[in-house]
Structure 1
């Protein structure tokens, strides 16, 4: 991480030196200042792919704060520039963007279509099953594959049938393997749903711990998925407590602790840690 001030980082995004722009974008990781949104949107059109991607990722992590400005820009963008805005919108995980992605499954750019259909699956847009299914006929292999993955995310009987039909019609072995993988994922989700388990996509703890070094905001977001699913691992709860404490975010720390107390109520050893931590906060 760099030590640039907010104003210097924003200013340096316009530098002619790509190294300076890379340093600037890294300095803005985790930022939640609304005044950074427009400069970051502009950075998604940077000549350097690393700067473009990082800018889109930062915007996505801003969530609700950036959605409206992102959608306005998205509607007026084209080609590669629109791809990175699509990625940023997908990363916000905001349901209000579903209609924009439905429309974008017909975009002229294959990259935009691919992100759009993938987002519909991740956002659990079950009502858009036919839109996702239509993408199975796309001329681009990557879009068709994204549609298969999206159907696996939906995990409905109808979605699984569409995957099986696509597998039967396809000759490419790699595509068929992707279909098999999507079916297994969907069936696993169905089983979890029937047993009452929360269906939340989580990434390995070791990956998130490394993420803390470069993108605390993203790390918090990923740890929160464990809490949302009420996972019985205590490490995500502990790391969140530490990160929220560093940010002086008392309310969120208390929320995580109270959730942990409920989850570990039958495990005296784990329960004790969170009860003591809560007592110190009162």
Structure 2
């Protein structure tokens, strides 16, 4: 991480030297200041791909705070400049972006179409099955593949049928393999849902722990996935408690502890840790 102040980092995002801009964007990782949104949106059109991607990632991690401005910019953008705004919108994981991604599945830019259809799957937009399925006829192979992956994410009988139909109509063996993989994923999700389990994609703990050093915001977001799915590992809950304590976020720490107490009700050792922590907060 760099040591630039917030104001210096914002100012240097427009520097002529790409090395300076890279340093500036790294200094803004994890930022939650609303005044950074517009400069970061501008940075998604930077000449350097690393700066563009990192700006979009930061905006996406800002979530609800940035989503409305991102939607506005996305709706007015064109061509390649729209691609990284699409990625940022996808990363917000906000359901209000669904209608904009539905429209974007017909965008002139293949990169935008690809992100849009992939986002519809990740956002579990089951009502948009037709829009996703239309992308199976796209001229771009990458868009068609993204549509298959999204249908796999939906994991419904209808989406699985759409994958099978696409597999039957396709001659490319690599595409057929992707279809098979998506079908297996969808069927696994269906079984999990049928058994009452929450289906949430989680990242390895070791990776998230490293993010604590470089991108606290993203680390919290990924630990929360473990809590959301009520995983039987106590480490994510403990790390979240520590991070929320550092941020003086009492309400979220209590929420995580109470969820952990519910999850580990039958494990006296793990339960004791969270009960003691909660008692100290009251």
CA distance in 2, matches of 1:239, 1:167: 43
Residue of structure 2 in register with 1:162 after alignment: 162
1:75 Cα offset (Å): 1.1
Comparing 73-82 with 115-124, greater Cα deviation is found at 73-82
SS, match of residue 177 in structure 2: helix
Residue of structure 2 in register with 1:37 after alignment: 37
Residue of structure 1 in register with 2:63 after alignment: 63
Residue of structure 1 in register with 2:268 after alignment: 268
1:212 Cα offset (Å): 1.5
The answer to whether 1:23 aligns with 2:23 is yes
Residue of structure 2 in register with 1:220 after alignment: 220
Spell out, residue by residue over 1:41-88, the C-alpha distance to the aligned partner (whole angstroms, 9 max, x if none). 000000110000000000001111111111111111111110000000
SS, match of residue 198 in structure 1: coil
CA distance in 2, matches of 1:31, 1:121: 28
Spell out, residue by residue over 1:116-169, the C-alpha distance to the aligned partner (whole angstroms, 9 max, x if none). 000010111111101100000000000000000000000010000010111111
Taking structure 1 as the reference length, the TM-score comes to 0.99
CA distance in 2, matches of 1:211, 1:79: 32
CA distance in 1, matches of 2:133, 2:279: 52
1:221 Cα offset (Å): 0.3
1:98 Cα offset (Å): 0.6
1:269 Cα offset (Å): 0.7
Residue of structure 2 in register with 1:108 after alignment: 108
Q: What are the equivalent positions in structure 2 for 1:1-282 lying under 5 Å apart? A: 1-282=1-282
Spell out, residue by residue over 1:172-212, the C-alpha distance to the aligned partner (whole angstroms, 9 max, x if none). 12111111111011001111111111111111111111221
SS, match of residue 212 in structure 1: helix
CA distance in 2, matches of 1:235, 1:110: 41
CA distance in 2, matches of 1:277, 1:26: 34
| Unpaired segments ≥5 residues, structure 2 | none
SS, match of residue 213 in structure 1: helix
CA distance in 2, matches of 1:195, 1:91: 28
Count of paired positions? 282
CA distance in 1, matches of 2:171, 2:242: 51
| Unpaired segments ≥5 residues, structure 1 | none
SS, match of residue 73 in structure 1: helix
CA distance in 2, matches of 1:281, 1:129: 46
Taking structure 2 as the reference length, the TM-score comes to 0.99
